[in-house]
């Protein structure tokens, strides 16, 4: 049996849990905070799928989600056109007082060099910092 390396990054956001989950569940908002990953707005594709420009994945990709907002579960799936979706990128939102913690798990697939893995983790942390700034900026005067 083989396992892969995973890393879960976390950020605390001083905004109501419901606002955080609703915002993260809306694909159209992803490019507003995930500015290093997405090269612009996502567009509606067929069915439950969206289409996104993701340079690190070679350009246009299909994007879909499985969501249970009540439990704070968002599983993201990405795949280039013509390729099956792989395993999910698990995102969990956990209530934290009047705010929420967002936990984002990344998987290191075979063949990813150490430097690229570290760069991916650093980029995702910057994206989570962007998410925090975006959501807290919509609540002026309510955080420190």
Tens-digit pLDDT profile for residues 31-40: 999 999 999 9
- Measured CA to CA, the distance from residue 1 to residue 8 in angstroms comes to 22
The two tokens of residue 46 are: 């067929």
Domain boundaries along the sequence of the chain = 5-36+65-137
Average pLDDT, the chain: 91
With vertex at residue 110, the alpha carbon angle to CA 9 and CA 125, rounded to the nearest 5 degrees, is 20
SS3 at position 28: helix
Contacts with 79 (C-beta within 8 Å, 6 or more apart), sequence order: 61, 62, 85, 86
Strands in 43-44's sheet, in edge-to-edge order, are: 5-13, 99-108, 89-96, 73-80, 59-68, 50-54, 43-44
Instruction: For residue 144, name the pLDDT band (cuts at 50, 70, 90).
Output: very low
Q: Does the pLDDT at position 136 exceed 70?
A: yes
**pTM of the entire structure?**
0.89
Q: Does the pLDDT at position 86 exceed 80?
A: yes
pLDDT recorded at residue 116: 92
pLDDT recorded at residue 143: 45
Q: For the chain, what percent of residues have pLDDT higher than 90?
A: 77
pLDDT recorded at residue 140: 58
Strands 99-108 and 89-96: antiparallel
User: What's the fold here for domain 5-36+65-137?
Assistant: Alpha-D-Glucose-1,6-Bisphosphate; Chain A, domain 4 (3.30.530)
């Amino acid at each position: 049996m083989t396992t892969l390396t995973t890393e879960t990054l976390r950020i605390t956001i001083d905004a109501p849990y419901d606002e955080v989950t609703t915002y993260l569940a809306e694909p159209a908002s992803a490019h507003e905070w995930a500015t290093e990953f997405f090269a612009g707005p996502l567009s509606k594709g067929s069915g439950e799928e969206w289409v996104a420009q993701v340079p690190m994945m070679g350009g246009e990709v299909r994007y879909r989600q499985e969501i249970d907002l009540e439990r704070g579960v968002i599983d993201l799936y990405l795949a280039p056109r013509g390729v099956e979706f792989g395993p999910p990128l698990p995102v969990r939102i956990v209530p934290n007082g009047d705010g929420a913690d967002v936990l984002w798990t990344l998987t290191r697939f075979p063949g990813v060099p150490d430097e690229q893995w570290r760069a991916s983790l650093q980029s995702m942390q910057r994206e989570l910092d962007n998410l925090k700034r975006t959501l807290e900026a919509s609540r002026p005067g309510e955080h420190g």
